[in-house]
Amino acid sequence: MKRIEKIKQVVTPVDFSDNSKMIAESAAFMAGSFQASLALVFIVQKFEDYSGFFVPQMNIPDFEQDLFEQAEEKMKSFVEELEPFAKGKGVIEVSGKVLVGDVAEQIISYASEQKGDLIVMGTHGYKGLEKIMFGSVADKVVKTAPCPVLTVNPYTSGEEE
């Protein structure tokens, strides 16, 4: 893991769930505190990961391409919605990228490529069967990331009740 001298780039994976906005805003707060850039990333999971399960007859490459295109549109609007908040917190730039592959591997690879100084991500994403099948993405990222990882539990507000 590299030694942090200054945080210039914060990488944050999003999944467009209800929790994504809160996690992205937390990441924007961190990036703004360091006057850094914020790079959001969404990963379209490949259907190969579901080998051994029944997959209905369909043209999988076309379906994956449709998912990718829809994710790019969603990312564009997600970035546009987050940008005013982020800039107001001192974030230099907000960008979004959609990738295809294993979620944890792609987060780690993207953080390396972007020279990420910090990854801010949610502790929860997958639920039920998917979590059993794929394990904890956050756990894999924390263990193998090229930089420090700050995890945010979207189910706790941090406020006393």
Residue 134 has pLDDT above 90, yes or no: no
Q: Is the pLDDT score of 21 beyond 70?
A: yes
pTM for the model: 0.83
150 exposed, middle or buried (CB, 10 Å; 0-12, 13-18, 19+)? middle
Q: How far apart are CA 114 and CA 9, in angstroms?
A: 8
For the cut 70, the answer to whether the pLDDT of residue 37 exceeds it is: yes
The mean-pLDDT minimum among 47-51, 68-72, 116-120, 151-155 falls in 47-51
CATH topology for 9-152? Rossmann fold (3.40.50)
Tens digits of per-residue pLDDT, 105-122? 999 999 999 999 999 998
